[in-house]
Amino acid sequence: MTPDPALPPRVRQILETAPREALPITYQQLAEALGLQPPRTIQRVAQALETLMREDAEQHRPFIAALVVSRRGEGLPAQGFFDLAVALGRFPADPALQAEAWREAFERALAARPD
């Protein structure tokens, strides 16, 4: 499936403007906010978030994708988030340290949002 180049900027805009108390948001909630229809709605959201992670790493910004979590998984992002964060050199490879790294990334992403 070819990624939709229009999705990442829309995702960033939603995450930058969502009320603080609404965060973190789930992948499903984000898909609904984008108005995505099946098939592969969550996959499309994940691809957009991965694009944003690469952009943020390149620009030395906090991961805006840290504001999105899975419905399952104890309120954490999906494994793909952690895998890419490690690959981009932002998170420790040790899985035991990744939840804390995400919590810190979440707070940095919140603090970096425009007012």
pLDDT tens digits, 74-97: 899 999 999 999 999 999 999 999
Q: How much of the chain exceeds pLDDT 70, in percent?
A: 98
Q: Is the pTM of this model over 0.85?
A: yes
Question: How far apart are alpha carbons 38 and 44 in whole angstroms?
Answer: 10
Asked if 64 and 48 touch (Cβ cutoff 8 Å), the reply is: no
Question: How far apart are alpha carbons 17 and 13 in whole angstroms?
Answer: 6
Question: How far apart are alpha carbons 68 and 90 in whole angstroms?
Answer: 17
Of 97, 2, 111, 4, give the one whose Cα is nearest residue 66: 111
